[in-house]
Amino acid sequence: MSGDASVSKLSCARKEGSAGNVAPTMLPELPLVSIALPHLPATRVEMDRRGWDYVDVVFVTGDAYIDHPAFAMGILGRVLEAAGFRVAILSQPDWRTAEAWRNFGKPRLFFGISAGNMDSMINHYTANKKVRNDDAYSPGGVIGRRPDRATLSYCQRAREAYPGVPVIAGGVEASLRRLAHYDYWSDTVRRSIVLDSKADLVAFGMGEQSIVEIARRLAAGESVKDLRDMRGVAYALGAKEIPPVDAIVLPSYEDMKSDKQKFATATRLIHHETNPLNARRLVQYHDRQAVVCNPPSLPIGEQDMDRIYGLPYTRKPHPIYKHERIPAYETVKDSVTIMRGCFGGCTFCSITAHQGRIIQSRSQGSILSELRSMGRDPSFTGVVSDIGGPTANMYQMKCLKPEVEAICRRQSCVHPKICKLLGTDHGPLIDLMRESRAIPGVKKVLVASGIRTDLARRSPEYMAELATHHVGGHLKVAPEHTDPEVLKRMKKPDVQDFGKFAATFRDASAAGGKPKQYLVPYFIASHPGSDLGAMISLALFLKRNGYRPDQVQDFIPAPFDIATCMYYTGIDPFTGDQVHVARNLRDRKLQRALLQFFKPENYFEVRQALLKAGRSDLIGSGCDCLIAAQPPKAAIRARMEKANRALTEGRYVHTTDGERPGEKPSNPAVPAGYRPNRKTATRRPTR
């Protein structure tokens, strides 16, 4: 159960990890597809039924426990189990006391802490800092099942429950906050989560290699301090400890907080060290204490990808949820992951920062085996909702010159133009798509992951396959904007590329006998570089091309992202250019309204935006006019209903969102959030 037998081989594997473009094999030999095993224990009763008197690892997660490879706790739990460890899942525990952390007794090796598949603040709040109405990763979609900044609370309770047990934090929230970072919700620069959580280690990026190595080495008797030589971990040094001499010293937390130019400098340095093939160790001081961030883990090879996705998942939520729907699971339950990573380098996206820029693909045999298993499942509808990953069409794409890739520090392989050394062959993907359609029990295989349009247009054969067989009436794509300045800041192709893709898709659909298929483009409001003029141009583009987006995105400055640096500092960290930023919530609301100028409830905001930008020529009855000269009745009615709601809810000028009707807040600037029954009326001061 402890995995001790594997330890003797591990020291050699660690040495080999310093060379080559792929990580050494870290997982045990397994068949590609196994018979599904029961869920890992999520209660003490289940642990007792297995006859266990202890567990090696307690994995704490802010999400509902779903044993499916689209969810972190599903993959990491099964990977540890396959390596011979006893694992229990503590899902969405009550963080107000440490009792839940004692459910399984003292873990022999460590607590593994994750806020869940999302950063908890993005999970809880909208771009306008309003509490969301639901939580897609909770049973029934109910909010309030995890705290704000869940990693901090979970680590604290683990320490309280069993002092001395190593606490290892990971997941998206910990990864993106491993160094000093801008926090949108408090509008401050916050310290590294390593210090605030007091975790022994933060394992950043995809965690399969890290979590197995940590478990094996602790089981072999090493201390948690001995693990500081691992790739993909960050840790804090004591005040008297000496930082590694080979590290790049970043601007300190105090400098980043007081000087926006130094914040931009730190962002540039950090992102230059994200290629695991040439990344160097980083050190950042917080007062007298240093946080050390080792180079990222090496990408895993096809063999390990096959083993990970061939583990015996039930592909279902744990039975404790009975008949409660978990929205995120319903979305992806019939999807198949074929690859991970993204070399697009979009500045507003965290995928590259978390999964890496190097594409890691499964073999065709592994993917088809999973599809065959799904086809045999009586509950399967026959429709594969998505076959893809972070993108739909980067499967098995890679740099054609490994020796160049090993020294490359380019942030995007496709911007400002596609690198001539990038292999963009869609052939393996086309073969996979064709084979997937022939699986018994599979009626339809859809593509719902984002299409990289500039790559897709390079392969007319791929476009024909996609449009003819893998689109369920409409295809979602993300041009994101039309303004050249904004697209440059995003590292996205120009709008002409989207126009050419749209024409190619239309022709391919017609040739495939599906002329009524259409595109659903996604756009972002308030991204750095976007002002009212840029958004008005985008609104005109939408009107002229007949697009009426049902869903729009407001830019949310996620920790670690390059675009977040631009939002906070007004500086492009790679060029030094000054960048326009819509920071005021009212300005952001106007930009969002312009994306849906055609909705009556947005009439008055659109009018205000047009007048503010000096574009009154777009108010009236002309062919390019966005709104009529007089508000429609529906617009007046919507404004009245909004005012009545505010009155009913008690939201007057002296109250803020988050207060109860008629309640006088103790601190009007602080909403109730997700910390009910807190001892103090105000938050602790931000350090």
Copy the structure tokens of residue 341: 């990573």
Give the pLDDT confidence score for residue 550 in this predicted structure.
86
Say whether 210 sits in a helix, a strand or coil: helix
Give the pLDDT confidence score for residue 679 in this predicted structure.
55
Q: Which of 256-270, 560-574, 650-664 has the lowest mean pLDDT?
A: 650-664
Q: Over the stretch 66-99, which tens digit does the pLDDT of each residue have?
A: 999 999 999 999 999 999 999 999 999 999 999 9
Residue where the block lists tokens 């002409």: 496
Residues 6+ apart with CB under 8 A from 24: 13, 14, 16, 17
Give the pLDDT confidence score for residue 650 in this predicted structure.
59
Give the pLDDT confidence score for residue 659 in this predicted structure.
41
More confident site: 557 or 686? 557
Q: What pTM does this model have?
A: 0.89
Q: Examine the pLDDT at 461 and tell me if it is beyond 70.
A: yes
E-assigned strands of 398-486? 444-445, 474-480
pLDDT band at 115; cut points 50, 70, 90: very high
Number of other residues whose CB lies within 10 A of the CB of residue 580:
16
Give the pLDDT confidence score for residue 86 in this predicted structure.
97
Go through the chain and tell me how many residues it has.
687
Q: Examine the pLDDT at 592 and tell me if it is beyond 90.
A: yes
Number of other residues whose CB lies within 10 A of the CB of residue 562:
27
Q: Over the stretch 305-357, which tens digit does the pLDDT of each residue have?
A: 999 999 999 999 999 998 899 999 999 999 999 999 999 999 999 998 889 99
pLDDT band at 663; cut points 50, 70, 90: very low
Q: Which of 5-19, 317-331, 465-479, 576-590 has the lowest mean pLDDT?
A: 5-19
Rounded mean pLDDT, 188-193: 98
How many CA atoms does the CB half-sphere of 325 hold within 13 Å? 8
Say whether 252 sits in a helix, a strand or coil: coil
Q: Examine the pLDDT at 27 and tell me if it is beyond 80.
A: no
Strand partners, 549: none
Give the pLDDT confidence score for residue 38 in this predicted structure.
92
Does the bond joining 390 to the residue before it have cis omega, within 30 degrees of 0? Answer: no
The CA–CA distances, whole Å, from 102 to 94, 319, 417 equal 12, 21, 54
